[in-house]
């Protein structure tokens, strides 16, 4: 069974969060936010992939495909992880917030594929995969 958690205060214990959103048509979108120590007010980056995730591939292969071939990826400097996640969520469903989605702890990105398959992601909802600092 997949361990699922929620947060109310902040996400400061995490260095990377991969977000997956399930559209009303069942297709998946993804984003990735992480600490990169940029200038004041933009210490974090959000990669928002506007192209859909290719679910015929495993998660990492589909993500790599987006990195290598998508011309519609948006990179946004962010002040913190909470704002980055909200920016991702509002682009698909403005009723979602970083406080009302589920998070699944992972040690590295290779765990996402199996954990995403085990998790019942509902239409019009998102899940975050969190890597601790």
| Interval 75-127: pLDDT, tens | 999 988 999 999 999 999 999 999 999 999 999 999 999 999 999 999 999 99
pLDDT of residue 49: 95
> Does pTM top 0.85 for this prediction?
yes
Name the helix (H) or strand (E) containing 40: none
Mean pLDDT to the nearest integer, 22-51: 91
pLDDT at residue 1 is higher than 70 = no
Reported as a single tens digit per residue, the pLDDT across 48-88 is 999 999 999 999 999 999 999 999 999 999 988 999 999 99
Residue range 32-48: mean pLDDT, rounded: 86
- Residue 91's pLDDT is what? 95
Sequence-ordered alpha helix ranges (H) in the chain: 59-69, 81-90, 112-118
Chain centroid offset of residue 11 CA = 13
Mean pLDDT, residues 31-48: 87
For residue 117, the tally of other CB atoms under 10 A from its CB is 11
């Amino acid at each position: 069974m997949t361990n699922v958690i929620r947060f109310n205060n902040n996400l400061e214990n995490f260095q990377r969060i991969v977000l997956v959103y399930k559209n009303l048509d069942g297709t998946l979108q993804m984003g990735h936010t992480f600490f990169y120590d940029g200038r004041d007010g933009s210490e974090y980056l959000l990669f928002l992939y506007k192209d859909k995730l290719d679910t015929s591939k495993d998660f990492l292969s589909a993500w790599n495909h987006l990195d290598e071939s998508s011309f519609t990826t948006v990179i946004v400097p962010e002040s913190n992880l909470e704002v980055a996640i909200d920016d991702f969520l509002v682009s698909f469903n403005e009723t979602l917030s970083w406080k009302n989605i589920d998070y699944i702890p992972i040690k590295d990105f290779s765990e996402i594929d199996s954990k995403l398959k085990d998790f019942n992601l509902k239409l019009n909802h998102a899940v975050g995969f969190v890597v601790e600092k």
